[in-house]
Amino acid sequence: MSDSVDVTAWLHEFARLIAEHKDELTALDSAIGDADHGTNMDRGMTAVVKALDEGGGGSPSTLLKQSGMKLISTVGGASGPLYGTAFLRMATAAGDAPALDGPTFAKALRAALEGVVTRGKAVAGDKTMFDALSPAVDALDAALADGQSLTEALTTTVAAAEKGRDATIPLVARKGRASYLGERSAGHQDPGATSVTLLLAAAATAAGA
């Protein structure tokens, strides 16, 4: 197997994981938000998969761009524009690369993080998807620099995302709807940090981890 992330397999697996965890994501969002993160993401990923299945394929960049636009038009809420921007930035970063190999995938994921920050202005500890994505991107760069294959590196990446996700539990939210709760947002895992961890788990699976 080539050491790369197949975009079609990645998006199908992400959609499957979102569907599987839909109720959990919505339950997390009901504790500190408006109970729609699971349904938002499931609606979006169902539309992404439909477009993939109906489309004629394309380069990684083309598929990522198409998916980003679908997410923006279907997910809604805060997470729609954030995920959409992340995918559009990944599309640009992938350029004309024929496959998402280690360096290309790492560059794309870094661009996704930068897109999330540009759009949402979150910093570490705000209790958002940033808190899982940012340590994951750093872990991926470090693992690849260490000479690991992309498949191996993605296992490390997922572990870093899970740790970041779990570390959102005690945090007081400073961005998004959860921030309206102030101190009462502490003690709950962030829904977006949870879904972004699924995105990375799906990439690991698509790479054959």
Q: Which residues pair with 5 in a beta bridge?
A: 100
Q: Is 37 in the site for ligand ADP (CB under 6 A)?
A: yes
Start-to-end CA span in the chain (Å): 11
Q: Between residues 28 and 139, which has the closer beta carbon with respect to Mg ion?
A: 28
For residues 108 and 94, is the Cβ–Cβ distance under 8 A?
A: yes
Instruction: Classify strands 100-101 and 4-5 as parallel, antiparallel or unpaired.
Output: antiparallel
Q: Would you tell me which residues interact with Mg ion (CB under 5 A)?
A: 29, 33-34, 36-37
Query: Closest residue to ligand ADP, Cβ-based?
Result: 192
- CA dihedral over 192, 105, 16, 81, signed as positive or negative: positive
Interaction pattern, residues 96-115, with ligand ADP; x per rule: CB under 6 A: --------------------
How far is the C-alpha of 195 from the C-alpha of 161, rounded, in Å?
10
Residues 139-198 binding ligand ADP (CB under 6 A) are 175-177, 190-193
Q: Between residues 61 and 185, which has the closer beta carbon with respect to ligand ADP?
A: 185
For residues 106 and 141, is the Cβ–Cβ distance under 8 A?
A: yes
Q: Which of 44, 68, 120, 135 binds ligand ADP (CB under 6 A)?
A: 120
Residue 41 CA from chain centroid, whole number: 11
- Summarize as ranges the residues that interact with ligand ADP (CB under 6 A): 29, 33-34, 36-37, 40, 77-79, 82, 116, 120-122, 128-130, 175-177, 190-193
